[in-house]
Amino acid sequence: MTISNNGTASQAAPKLRILLLARDCNPGGTHGHLIGYSHGRELARLHTVTLVVHRDHAEAVRCRNGGFDAIEGISLGWLDRFHAWCFRRLFKSNYFSQALTAFNYFFYLAFEFQAWRKLRRRILANDFDLVLRLVPVSAVLPSPFAYFLRHGPIPFVIGPINGGLPWPIGFAQAAKQREWISKLRSFYRFFPFARSTYREAAAIIAGSSQTYLEFSKYREKLFFVPGENGINPSHCPDSLRSEGRNGTLELIFVGGLFPIKAVDLALRGAAPLLRKGQARFTVVGDGPERSNLERLAKALNIDQNVLFFGWLPHSEVMKRLAAADVLLFPSLRDFGGGVVFEALATGAVPVVADFGGPGDIVHSEVGFKVPLTNEHQMVAEIDRILERLARDPEALGRLRQQGIRYAREYLSWEGKARMVSDILCWVTGRGAKPHLPPPNNNAAHKNRSCAIQKPR
């Protein structure tokens, strides 16, 4: 992958009438809620978009004035109240629970059934050119719209979708966090509408090389758009800050302090520079591993140069990323890696595990990928990379500049919306088929081999 060949769409794409399914779409939310709104807003700048959203989010979207032609709120009555109660009481408001994804299956189906009942006449009257199911992004959550539209009159498109990343073998961090339900993931194919969603879809947009591999039998209608996340170009600075801070390398990690994030590997890899006072490490985020990580920093005799800040407002996180030289993000299993997008946009050079979403996004012109081998080798590789950057500020500046340009052109919501627009124009017969393969056709196979390798 190179920066110049970014696969973005042409500026003169035809304007389409899109019925956009995005149950969880809220400009004031996080994760899927914000993804749905940000991507939908950029599509609305290019096309005439009717947004179908849960009624609880409709007013927030209207107040933000995202440019949608119309907003249709869908309510499920007592089912919504039951779902909200279960989310609070049973899942403890944990959006990251894999069990929650399985639990949501029936509620997402009910939402789309209700949306079909409300909009069926307009669809059959050709008020829209196509239906795009934007969120949820999980590939295991199907859409009955594909089946309803299998004979027309308009095409159905799904994506970007993500998920299905294997759990790496041989890492204690992964073993501590893996949920029992992950072993049952493959059974989703036997659920109602699971197979028809992808069989009947006119196009499937994959957000990772692993998802691309999972649906490779549909390769004639399969496209890659990087991750489900994106960045606002306003986060990209117009000019770079001056290089060097008295020879000190500013390191940062941003994210939940869970075992799978492998912050312990980042601390151990950075320890030689931290002990010599040649680096400072800022850890932004919180979670069950925080106390263990604080104890590790003391044991490594680096606690004087490691600062744990807990969770910060997003605006403050962006400021700290912009002030950092390097994002250390050795997460062992990450689908999207939104913080990697933001690091590139703000000029922090990412050092990531070569696995999953971050491994798809980062390449040698903008950052570093650490092979997912074993803990000892990963720590040694992180140490080698940081020593190199500490000795060569010019290389650091070059990577930073290229990363900002790459993020602006390839990872922005605008750029992603144009790539999706190319796909939608092809589906409706109003444009040529875009060439959007994964960044490395062997990436997903490599991910799979990393996940099943024997511990060393």
CATH topology of domain 233-410: Rossmann fold (3.40.50)
387 or 242: which leads in pLDDT = 387
First CA to last CA distance, the chain: 31
Q: What is the pTM of this model?
A: 0.84
Q: In what order do the strands lie in the sheet with 203-206?
A: 70-74, 48-54, 17-22, 130-135, 156-161, 203-206, 222-224
Residue 455 has what pLDDT? 34
CATH superfamily of domain region 17-230+412-452:
Glycogen Phosphorylase B; (3.40.50.2000)
Residue 321 has φ and ψ, to the nearest 5°, of -65, -40
Mean pLDDT along residues 278-296: 96
Residue 14 has what pLDDT? 82
pLDDT tens for each residue of 257-266: 999 999 999 9
For residues 333 and 303, what is the distance between their CA atoms, to the nearest angstrom? 27
Q: Do domains 17-230+412-452 and 233-410 have the same CATH topology?
A: yes
The torsion region of residue 245 among left (phi > 0), alpha (psi -120 to 50) and beta comes to beta
Domains of the chain, by residue range, sit at 17-230+412-452, 233-410
Question: pLDDT at residue 446 above 70?
Answer: no
Residue 166 has φ and ψ, to the nearest 5°, of -65, 155
Question: pLDDT at residue 418 above 70?
Answer: yes
pLDDT tens for each residue of 97-138: 777 777 888 999 999 999 999 999 999 999 999 999 999 988
Q: Look over the chain and give the mean of its residue pLDDT values, rounded to a whole number.
A: 87
Question: pLDDT at residue 17 above 80?
Answer: yes
Residue 177 has what pLDDT? 59
